[in-house]
Structure 1
Amino acid sequence: MTDTPYSPATATALAIGATSDGWVDETGVPWDGAVVSYNQRSIEQRTATLLTDLRDNLAALRAVVAPPTRNIRIMCVGDSITVGSGSTGPGGQIDRYGNGIGQGYRPWITDLLARRRISAQLTTLAQGGQTVRTMAPPTLAALPTAQPDIVLIDLGTNDMGGDFTDWQSRYGQFVDQILASSPAVRVACARIPYYRGIATSTVDSVNAAVDAVVQSRQRTGRVAAADMSVITQHWTADGMHPLDAAYLTMAQTWLTAIGPWLP
């Protein structure tokens, strides 16, 4: 701590917990937790920018020295998390929540598969704020053209807000319609994370429905669950969208779920 505040407006803050370089140590002051959280996210995002640049450069090198020998088509279906809200992205795009928009888990899935010399062709059907009811029709309409080998479904967060009646039945019907589109297509269903400000019991209800849908179809060998509820860290300020580190965990979780189906 220096004797001179880093700005006149923060003289009081310095006296009750802020360091002279502008960082705040949590001391029980009402606003300090939010500032600490902001600083942690800021550090994480700067680190993520460097790491994603390293990932992309290694991918370019891998394409030359160890090009893919197999291919797979994956369709990613979901809401703002599938869009990539909260992740690092080019062009400074901002979503309606004030979060940056990158590509979320999708570049990580591509990278993780490329390490296995598998080339992934991704089709994305996602929009912020959407539900099973709104995403099922465009997804089913896109299947004949996309012809995915695997469909990743990450829905349920927005359904909790008032469209949860008969949700399990509608979700199961959606999965069945995808399975009926091709004898070879497989479906991975995400169990959603626990979000800040949403009751644990509410998230448990969604995940119990996902579990029931998956378990009743497991005998087909074509449906699996991807447990995103394990992601408890690295979230945006709104507590509803992952940062890059969490998106990497999502990609790893998807890969674990679909591993037995990979070429």
Structure 2
Amino acid sequence: MASRPAHRHSTARHSGAVADGTLGGGVTDIPPRPVRIMPLGDSITVGLNSTGVAGYRDELLGHLHRLGHDACFVGPCVNAFQPQGDPDYAAVCGITIEALTPLLPQWVPAARPDWLLVHIGTNNMYGPGHTAAPGLLRTFVDTLLRLAPSAGVLLASIIPSRLPEWQAHIDDYNRHVREIAEEPGRRGRVFFVDMASALHASPRGRDDLSDLVHPGDQGYAKMAAVWRDALHARLPAPEGGPILNPNPHLQTPWLSEAIPRARGNAPAHFPGWTNHGAHACHGRLAGLDNGSHAVGLGADAGFPGIATRLATTPGRPVRVTFRARAATLGVGPDHGGPAHPARTFGVQADGHPRATVTATDEWRTWTYDFTPTGAGTDLRFTPGTGPSPASGTRTGRGPLVTDVLARARAC
């Protein structure tokens, strides 16, 4: 089995009884490093014909979070319509194995994946060239192993087609996919995943597909379950209870880590979060090196912050761990005086006291503990009041917040 990547998680400690709405921590930290997963392939990986064009990705990330795994997706592509989770992936609609292979040297080292989820070959099945597909796949997989020497590869058989002629090609190809995964030299780093048998296709329809080759939402959900089982068997044991929020590391289609944008912040959509005027700050510019982005909580009027919905269980305590620092990327609108970067912000769960955090000039880890009373709880991060414009000052863009992990705790 491939060696499992080491993941360091920061843990803020405080002693004493935990009361609802308790703020703790404020300790200098080691940033969490989520398991970095690259969904790699063609339009089936893109999620064509699925709700939100998310394919299996939203469902898979939810599965992993419920199992307690801190994971994120990586890749050069971003889904601007992502409903809930992480919008990053690495796939192109209509691409063949031989066309995707030359893109790997640019994509893979930049994304630094721990695991690659490979579903490729469907577009090689349509004509006489299908016989060359196994050889092309060998080259493809060996290229991945060279470019990501510490990563594991989950190599999937491709899903069925409604067209019998194509299905005959797919059946032959899938026999080679298993052989390639199990050949000497790849064992322990490449693992075969039987995706083909998980989905049903019928020439008459009424199956898991939306057309001749692409899944519908039901089919993508089945793919997510197969990937979940394959990953869960190989990931390190979770370091806590279920993760309750869908996008802990504030990934956004506005900013791709694999292809950094030359800007510090911009109003943005964060999948799984309600954004009330907060800014997306690119991780590298915000001083982060773990693949996360940050939210800038502008302290000006009309910027009430950012919120997410937690899938809580009544009476089961929750610990929210988050990281914060003072603003680093400039100041807000000019009110005619010197800049005073904002340092305070609030964190609050529904029905519990608002706790005030004072950020420092370096990243620190904080905790916020509460016991939910309902089956869902809104968690909010709201700006502090900041200096008053009437005083001749101007407020800042910060503070910055990132790595918001809400975990259910043992009762």
TM-score range relative to shorter protein = 0.5 to 0.7
CA distance in 2: counterparts of 1:218 and 1:117, whole angstroms: 32
What SS is found at the alignment partner of 1:220? Answer: coil
Contact kept? 1:77, 1:139, Cα under 8 Å: no
In the TM superposition, 1:20-59 aligns within 5 A as: none
1:244 to 212, 217, 226: 217
- Give the CA deviation at 1:160: 1.0
Structure 1 residues 129-144: aligned runs within 5 Å: 129-144=94-109
How many angstroms apart in 2 are the aligned matches of 1:241 and 1:164? 18
Instruction: Give yes or no for contact 1:125–1:139 (8 Å, CA) kept in 2.
Output: no
Corresponding position of 1:221: 188
1:78 matched residue in structure 2: 41
2:121 corresponds to:
156
Contact 1:224/1:258 (<8 A) preserved = no
1:197 matched to 2:171? The reply is no
Deviation at 1:181, TM superposition (A): 2.2
2:364 — aligned with what? Answer: none
CA drift at 1:114:
0.5
CA contact (8 A) 1:189 1:226 kept: yes
Which of 184, 187, 210 does residue 150 from structure 2 map onto?
Answer: 184
Q: Is 1:107 aligned to residue 58 of structure 2?
A: yes
Segment drifting more, 158-167 vs 242-251: 158-167
| Separation of aligned partners in 1, 2:38 and 2:208 | 25
Q: Which amino acid aligns with 1:126?
A: A
The 8 Å contact of residues 130 and 169 in structure 2, kept in 1 or not, is answered as no
Residues of 1 paired with 2:119 and 2:34: CA distance? 23
**Identity between Structure 1 and Structure 2 (%):** 35
Return the offset for 1:209. 1.5
Instruction: Please give the alpha-carbon distance, in whole angstroms, between the structure 1 residues aligned to 2:232 and 2:183.
Output: 20
- Deviation, structure 1 residue 70: 6.7
Q: Deviations over 1:116-172 (max 9, x none)?
A: 222222121111111111111212321111010011111111101233343212211
2:70 partner SS:
strand
Q: Does the residue aligned with 1:164 lie in a helix, a strand or coil?
A: helix
Q: Please tell me whether residue 145 in structure 1 is matched to residue 119 in structure 2.
A: no
| Aligned-partner residue type, residue 154 of structure 1 | H
Q: For residues 205-246 of structure 1, what are the alpha-carbon distances to aligned partners after superposition, in whole Å with 9 as ceiling and x for unaligned? A: 11012111011148631111221212003221x232111121
Relative to its length, the structure with more helix (as a share) is 1
Cα distance, 1:258 vs. partner? 2.7
C-alpha separation between the residues in 1 aligned to 2:103 and 2:181? 22
Residue deviations 1:96-128, cap 9 Å, x none? xxxxxx110011111011012222221211111
1: CA distance between counterparts of 2:228 and 2:99?
Answer: 26
More displaced stretch, 108-117 vs 158-167: 158-167
Q: 1:151 to 1:224 in 2, by over 3 A?
A: same
Question: SS where residue 160 of structure 2 aligns?
Answer: coil
Task: Tell me which structure has the larger Cα radius of gyration.
Answer: 2
Aligned counterparts of 2:72 and 2:66: Cα–Cα separation in 1: 15
Structure 1, 151-160 or 217-226: larger mean CA deviation: 217-226
Q: Distance in 2 between matches of 1:70 and 1:115?
A: 18
Q: Distance in 2 between matches of 1:157 and 1:182?
A: 24
Amino acid at match of 1:127: V
Give how far 1:82 is off.
0.6
Q: Paired residue for 1:119?
A: 70
SS at match of 1:184: coil
Where does structure 1 lack aligned partners over 5 or more consecutive residues? Answer: 1-68, 90-101
Cα distance in 2 for residues equivalent to 1:219 and 1:134: 22
In structure 2, give the amino acid aligned to 1:187: V
Give the Cα separation in 2 of the matches to 1:225 and 1:253: 11
Judge conservation of contact 1:70–1:117 (CA < 8 Å) in 2. Answer: no
Structure (1/2) with the larger strand percentage: 2
C-alpha deviations, 1:50-92, integer Å up to 9, x for none? xxxxxxxxxxxxxxxxxxx872101111111111112111xxx
1:139 maps to amino acid: L
Partners of 1:191 and 1:227 within 8 A in 2: yes
Cα distance, 1:217–1:108 mapped onto 2, change above 3 Å: farther
